[in-house]
Structure 1
Amino acid sequence: MWRKAAAAALLALAVGYLYHSGPDLSENIMHFIPLPSFQFVSENHSTEQLISASWETLITLPSRQWNRVAVGVNACVDVVVSGVGLLQALAVDHGSGLDHEVLHSEEDLKEAFVHFMERGAAAERFFSDKEVFQRIARAAAEFPGAKLYVGGNAALIGQKLASYPDLMVLLCGPVGPKLHELLDEQIVVPPESLQEMDEYHLILEYKAGEQWGLSQAPQANRFIFSHDVSNGEMSSLETFVSSLDEFQPDLVVLSGLHMMEGQGRELWELRLKEVVDAITNIQQDVPIHLELASMTDKEYMNSILQEQVLPIVSSIGLNEQELLFLSQAANGPHADLASWTGIPDVGRVSDILLWILQQYGCSDLSSEADLTRIHFHTLAYHILATVDGFWGNQAAAVMAGARVASSQACGLQAVDVTKVELKAPLEFQSSHAEKGEKLSLNPVEPVTVWRRRNVTFHLTPVLVCRRPLRTVGLGDAISAEGLVYSEIKNQQSFRSDVDIKSRYLLLC
């Protein structure tokens, strides 16, 4: 079925080519059309065209779709502004970059911004001084070209899910008047989540090649910071969980754990225990997706792991920085890497994904964990890694996530092949730590699939927008789209009380 669909995509391209070549050729189409070779088609269509056309043919919704999705618990208003422009307006002098786990001053902000801009990497930090933050926020809101958007992982995921008219979305989080105005009408917000004041996050964007002093951005990205107490304490968590009994979701999406990092050990140690208690109280046959985000405190990440947050969710979404940081915090594979150099090596990524599912997921007969799915995304490609037997339609899901990354980054509703480029490796290894398979990317079947033990990997390239208009929320849109196209193979497979050995034999 997969190859037939790919052949259909090829055929459509070939017909289009023949049609535009002149009447003599088109008259012969009804008599005989040989299936064109890849070489023939690639001479007349770019690789980007082949991938985009194949996506449109191969991406199909699952037979069993979600009806009601509950999303929580971080929400805010994003103020998006030019990072270099704002810092110049604040009369901050350019200097060398230096990462800070928590920002205490404008100088800290400048150093952290330069540090990540030079690497073209996304990051998010807490700003400890409320008064200084409010002054910077006012300057950002008044800066020429500043824009206000729905912000916060939960709200952004909810907004994306609400673009599907048959899907009802519940959003719990600190929702102020401006955010409520910006939200899709299809989103239900419990009265307990409404508050008088909005939480604001400042998004400092930079473009590929943009310079400030001696620093130059290798690619477009953004630096996020806030002084956000409501989201920082996950204050909407209890409202979120208590709303589920009435809403009766068939999927739960949780985010906001990263916001607690800047609140200090005493708060997050207590709160993580309460998060675990809250998750375990959610109806057991409902899968839970956890969206991770940028963190810097290895002790905090270890607390998330030690409090067993990952094993009690069904699915997680993360990017290359979050993946490597998780491995570094727990001394996993390739923890000796300080950072990725260029496009993350597929074999190394595959090693870490497999390790997470083995260490914290449903991986063997003794496992009581629920984690069976990881949606990994980086600029050039995406991977969905799933434990066999739990999830269906994952080829379509990973392609759908890549497609929305391509279109949304360019500010479009669909992929425009004249505005994107392929940056994914055409050949790669399935593992770096072990003797892996040598794999390749085929533009007319743009999902490469391999298995390691009981885990299946689906990789698809991203058609990278050459001049992205907005990078904020891309990861959330990718995860949301991937979830929309995902299907549960067995509803009872999640967080079930049945004998673990029987469950493993049935599904793992």
Structure 2
Amino acid sequence: MWKTAAVVAVFAFTLGYLIQSHSHLPSHVLGYFSVSNSLKSEETNPTPPVFEEAIASAWEALISAPVHQWKRIAVGVNACVDVVVSGVRLLEALALAPGRGSDHEVLESQEDLMEAFLHFMERGAAAERFFTDKDVFLSIAQAAAKDPSAQLYVGGNAALMGQKFASYPQVTVLLCGPIGPKLHQLLVDEIIVPPESLQETDEFHLILEYQTGEQLGVTKAPQANRFIFSHDVSNGRMSALETLAASVEEFQPDLVVLSGLHMMEGMGKELWKERLEQAVVAISDVRNHVPIHLELASMTDQDYMSSIMQEVIPIVNSIGLNEQELLFFSQAGRGPHWELTTWDGSPDVGRVSDILLWILKQHGRSDPSSEADLTRIHFHTLSYHILATVDGYWGNQVAAVAAGARVASCQACGVQAVDVQKVILKSPTEFYSSYSEPREQLKLDPNEPVTFWSRDNVTFYMTPVLVCKQPLRTVGLGDAISAEGLLYSEMMSDEFQRPL
């Protein structure tokens, strides 16, 4: 007893000295200490999440609507029904032996599925693959349907982003994609679906989720995520792209959001090469009328990615992507840090900044004389987000990046507002603006949680994510992040200023 009392006395004396002699210390630091708590009560009452509280509060002050808001948004072209199941439980039900993980560009068998799932589960990374054998895919889908916990949701980047846009009453949304009866039922009533997009059957995608610490064989997930696969021909051919392009003149959108290019990868080089040429023509027609945001997704074919980089990226105004897609982008184009095979834990902020700048220089309009349109990139990873924009083209980006991070926390936890007891700060608190010299050392200030820096004529806006400790659902987080970021963004270029 006397030892405990002595420790408490020393602690109280030390704390008193700190408060007296270091009154300049920030309140969020002093807030960690409380002279009224004994050591025992500290054990039963954990320290309150001071940094998380400060960040969540600061976000609310920073997030304000842009002066000119989007009112009509056309979205396409991938849409489906997501069948969400436990990946571990489904693969165990298929009686497959969990061996070593290995990536596959396309899946041709159940064994390929097991190996690819283990490969990405071991890294806690998201991925999406095409399953070539229709009959085997259907047999797996039937096994998934027998799982009593299986759930059906709106799926496909375009449909998910459309749902998020439509949650704002001031926005009218047109969705072009393969819309079957079940998907049409799941969509909110506010979404307009052109008759040309309706079809008799739905496209189904299987979403194999896993939780932090979940194990299959010897593989253990370091964080929660999901693996997606499908045998989806309608989305694979981007069959609704021409419908989207044709709708622009009649619908008169302020913004077009495009996704689904990754679905063509599994169709084979001859088909995707021909279809990509047609897609470029359709996108070029749209770009003459309205700005375009392109949402990227998981791909594995470097030739295909290179074609997208050269032909599509320069004719869109904005792109959204995660850490896997960013690194693959650099690998396909031999950009900065392309020699990395994967990120080692959380992506290094300096390396991410290097690649973002390279994209805007090589494929965007960082040079005012460039004919490229790309001026904005929204990067998101588990622990932080970065918005990189060419100066003079986009406004309200501090609010936009904060809004994207806020929705990531809320949607993952299934809450309307950030609950600081359910989230944790995993973002680096000190980082560099570049991986190599010249570089600036930067620090996270929880009371001003959007850090920004400039390189050439590109400004970077970085904010941490308050990561949900026990996420309810990981599918669609990237789409919600990009959609929310767009809703709080405005384009400043006179080229696309329209009467509002």
**Shared topology, TM-score over 0.5?**
yes
Q: Specify the alignment match of 1:65 in structure 2.
A: 69
Distance 2:186 2:451 in 1: 38
Q: Specify the alignment match of 2:109 in structure 1.
A: 105
Q: Specify the alignment match of 2:341 in structure 1.
A: 338
Equivalent pairs, count: 460
Is the CA contact 1:285–1:491 (under 8 Å) kept in the aligned structure 2? no
Q: Specify the alignment match of 1:427 in structure 2.
A: 430
Q: Specify the alignment match of 2:242 in structure 1.
A: 238
Percent identity over paired residues: 70
Matched residue type, 1:447:
V
Indicate which of 437, 457, 462 corresponds to 1:459: 462
Q: Specify the alignment match of 1:405 in structure 2.
A: 408
Matched residue type, 2:457:
N
Indicate which of 480, 484, 489 corresponds to 1:481: 484
Once the two structures are superposed, the pairs formed by residues 21-420 of structure 1 within 5 Å of their partners are 37-40=27-30, 46-282=50-286, 284-306=288-310, 308-420=311-423
How big is the shift at 1:268?
0.9
Distance 2:173 2:93 in 1: 40
With structure 2 as the length reference, what TM-score do the two structures score? Answer: 0.90
Q: Deviation string for 1:372-407 (max 9, x for gaps)?
A: 000000000000000000000000000000000001
Is the CA contact 1:382–1:398 (under 8 Å) kept in the aligned structure 2? yes
How big is the shift at 1:41?
5.3
Matched residue type, 2:226:
R
How big is the shift at 1:91?
1.1
How big is the shift at 1:275?
1.1
Distance 1:53 1:345 in 2: 26
Q: Deviation string for 1:419-470 (max 9, x for gaps)?
A: 1000000000000133210000000000000000000000000000011110
Stretches of 4+ aligned residues off by more than 4 angstroms: 34-38, 40-45
Is the CA contact 2:290–2:496 (under 8 Å) kept in the aligned structure 1? no
Is the CA contact 1:150–1:156 (under 8 Å) kept in the aligned structure 2? yes
Distance 2:117 2:49 in 1: 40
How big is the shift at 1:490?
2.6
Distance 1:439 1:75 in 2: 40
What RMSD over aligned residues (CA atoms) do the two structures have, in Å?
A: 1.5
Matched residue type, 1:416:
D
Q: Specify the alignment match of 2:41 in structure 1.
A: none
Is the CA contact 1:390–1:493 (under 8 Å) kept in the aligned structure 2? no
Distance 1:321 1:46 in 2: 31
With structure 1 as the length reference, what TM-score do the two structures score? Answer: 0.89
Is the CA contact 1:118–1:218 (under 8 Å) kept in the aligned structure 2? yes
Distance 2:195 2:189 in 1: 15
Matched residue type, 2:306:
N
**Where does the alignment leave 5 or more consecutive residues of structure 1 unmatched?**
1-33, 495-508
Q: Deviation string for 1:324-377 (max 9, x for gaps)?
A: 000000100000101000110000000000000000000214310000000000
Distance 1:414 1:35 in 2: 30
What secondary structure is seen at the aligned counterpart in 2 of 1:118? helix
Distance 1:192 1:35, change over 3 A: farther
Distance 1:161 1:448 in 2: 27
Distance 1:323 1:36 in 2: 37
What secondary structure is seen at the aligned counterpart in 1 of 2:286? coil
Q: Deviation string for 1:180-238 (max 9, x for gaps)?
A: 00001110000000000000000000000001111100000000000000000000111
Matched residue type, 1:195:
Q
Distance 2:26 2:98 in 1: 56
